[in-house]
Amino acid sequence: MKSMKKAVTGIVSLLMTLCLTGCSLDYSALRHHNENEGAESVSMTAETQEQFQEELSAFEITALQRELAADNKAGYPVLDAGRGNPNWINGKVRHAFTRLMDFATSECELVFVEGDMAGHGKKEGIGDRFDAFMDETDETDKFLIDAVEHCVKDLDMDKDELLFEFANGITGDYYPSPSRCLTHTEAILNEFLVSALFNGNEPENGTDIFPTEGGSAAMSYIFHTLNHNRLLKPGDKIAIATPIFTPYLEIPDVNDYGLVSVNVASDEEHNWDIDTAELNKLKDKEIKAFFLVNPSNPASHALSPATLDALEEVVSGNPDLIILTDDVYGTFVEGFESVYSRLPYQTILVYSFSKLYGATGWRTGLIAMSRDNVCDRLLSELSAEDQKALYNEYAIAVTDPSSMKFIERLTADSRSIGLYHTSGLSTPSQIFMDIMALSHTTYGRDEYIELANDTVNERYITLMDALGIAKDLSGENAEYYTIVDINAMIEDQYGSDFARWRIDNISDLDFLNDLAEKKGVVLMYGPGFEAPEGSVRISLANLNTQDYVEIAERIRELLEEYYVKFEEEALGADA
């Protein structure tokens, strides 16, 4: 026992040292350290597991398990259901992007060509040249022709202006102008948001959009500008809807924000919706912001209409509350309605195209805010001292800082204010976002979204059936991820005695480590998302359907091995 305690202490020390020095971790190092200390295994006590969790995020834990899985004892092919990026792309939008680049380059070459050098395209007559360049009998060309016609007829855009922005944007030969968002891009993205995330309900006062380098950059920018502009100060309370994407749990503490987190929890009992009693915490006027992912990650559930109604009522009693909603999985719920469409005045919306369109490497996301919003009002109510300090900072970038809207401050802050004139997402990325958005809005029916939803639905049903767990086919379940309660599964299928033995003898992290090391399966640690003890997150997006049957079989194999040990101990106790 003394040697085990000594080994445990050594493991914690080693973990902390490696974390603090920024070294990568691997279990071979832990095993070597354990062997030197005379310990029998790397199994952790509950206390050690808690320390481990404090030092490492769920994503770092999963990275370690990938190392174990790569050389798993069974020699199985690795099945990594920890990754959130999908194993599909949208080919249509990529073909269209390539074809539009061909057109734009030909426009430059019309001006002059000397070796590999070409000129800048011209606007006059570009619409006619586009019509001559495109072939209606070609599927990709036909989509681009229809998309441009849709923008002209339904969004009231000038064809030459639109195509000139497309051509200049996709070749990337100018800084973004306006720096926050290209003019036609903003209108195209607005239409997409209304259709895909707002359930057709367009906010009254219009929406400003700031395209960003993915949703993660959007969140970083938002928290920085809220802090920089004194709207969130050290010691302020921020409510976080949990379970939630692990890095978002860490934001209140980073960069010396010094915010105090208040947990607004959902649970399986309420089908991962937020109960009214939890929402009522937001009535506390000391809570300055409420942060959620909707549909949630990892539970993958959208807020129900009843919960949206309750949230509207709660916010009416706390009118200064700032809401941040990350709706990246919204399109995986039919008829999804964002918190933003209900409460645009209070809400900052973040969306990323990465999951639906298989574009995580593109880093294409956006921040959207109502043109009439709580942040702009709160800026006007800052103390004279704070307003003066901010005026002096932003004066290097604009002539009238006092009228600078919050979303423009976001844009300026993204380039440390002084480089405001060079801010904005790369123009080729903005045009790629246009094409993705137009693939949804140009035609009345979006068969691609239907296919994406059917794909994750098939995988979800397959996994649940293979595990022998009841399915949740409610309209709010996005099915992009699922949380599986391993404790409940064991109790239901093996009995309470074995379930208690497993909890007492094999920690949640040990289970995941064994699953990786022995069976080559990588899942994510549920409590790292503030999900219940004993839970794991399984991605339904990044493996083929039959792989989920195999995951279930390997989980059962491991549990059977545990059960043999359980019976052996029981027989030994009886003897």
In a domain, 165, yes or no: yes
- Domain boundary residue among 390, 423, 456? 423
Predicted model pTM: 0.88
416 and 541, same domain (yes or no)? no
| Selection from 96, 172, 200, 202 nearest residue 139 by Cα | 96
Residue 536 neighbours by CB distance under 10 Å: 23
> Tokens 């095993």 belong to which residue?
31
In a domain, 187, yes or no: no
127 and 275, same domain (yes or no)? no
146 and 2, same domain (yes or no)? no
411 and 538, same domain (yes or no)? no
CB 332 within 8 A of CB 456: yes
- Domain boundary residue among 355, 388, 423? 423
In a domain, 317, yes or no: yes
Token pair of 161, please? Answer: 């202006």
Distance CA 490, CA 509 (A): 16
- Exposed/middle/buried for residue 136 (C-beta within 10 Å: 0-12, 13-18, 19+): exposed
230 and 308, same domain (yes or no)? yes
pLDDT per residue rounded down to tens, the chain (575 residues): 333 333 333 333 333 334 433 333 443 343 333 333 333 334 445 455 545 544 556 778 888 999 999 999 999 999 999 998 999 999 999 999 999 999 999 999 999 999 999 999 999 999 999 999 999 999 999 999 999 999 999 999 999 999 999 999 999 999 999 999 999 999 999 999 999 999 999 999 999 999 999 999 999 999 999 999 999 999 999 999 988 876 676 676 655 678 888 999 998 888 899 999 999 999 999 999 999 999 999 999 999 999 999 999 999 999 999 999 999 999 999 999 999 999 999 999 999 999 999 999 999 999 999 999 999 999 999 999 999 999 999 999 999 999 999 999 999 999 999 999 889 999 999 999 999 999 999 998 999 999 999 999 999 999 999 999 999 998 999 999 999 999 999 999 999 999 999 999 999 999 999 999 999 999 999 988 888 899 999 999 999 999 999 999 999 999 999 999 999 988 776 65
79-130 pLDDT per residue, tens: 999 998 999 999 999 999 999 999 999 999 999 999 999 999 999 999 999 9
245 and 345, same domain (yes or no)? yes
CATH number at residue 119: 1.10.20.110
| Selection from 536, 525, 554, 550 nearest residue 63 by Cα | 525
Q: Rounding to the nearest 10 degrees, give the CA dihedral for residues 197, 198, 200, 205.
A: -130
| Selection from 365, 428, 420, 433 nearest residue 168 by Cα | 428
63 and 45, same domain (yes or no)? no
In a domain, 438, yes or no: no
- What secondary structure letter does DSSP report for 25? -
61 and 110, same domain (yes or no)? no
Token pair of 145, please? Answer: 């022709």
209 and 293, same domain (yes or no)? yes
Domain count, the chain: 4
In a domain, 186, yes or no: no
- Exposed/middle/buried for residue 299 (C-beta within 10 Å: 0-12, 13-18, 19+): buried
- Show the domain range for 167: 91-173
In a domain, 396, yes or no: no
465 and 546, same domain (yes or no)? yes
216 and 264, same domain (yes or no)? yes
CB 327 within 8 A of CB 338: yes
Distance CA 212, CA 350 (A): 10
In a domain, 306, yes or no: yes
503-512 pLDDT per residue, tens: 999 999 999 9
What's the gap between Cα 468 and its chain centre?
29
Please give the single-letter amino acid code of residue 22: G
CATH number at residue 257: 3.40.640.10
In a domain, 442, yes or no: no
3-state SS, one letter per residue, for 161-185: HHHHHHHHHHHCCCCCCCCCCCHHH
16: alpha, beta or left? (left if phi > 0; alpha if psi -120 to 50) = alpha
CATH number at residue 496: 3.90.1150.10
1 and 97, same domain (yes or no)? no
Rg for the chain, CA atoms, rounded: 26
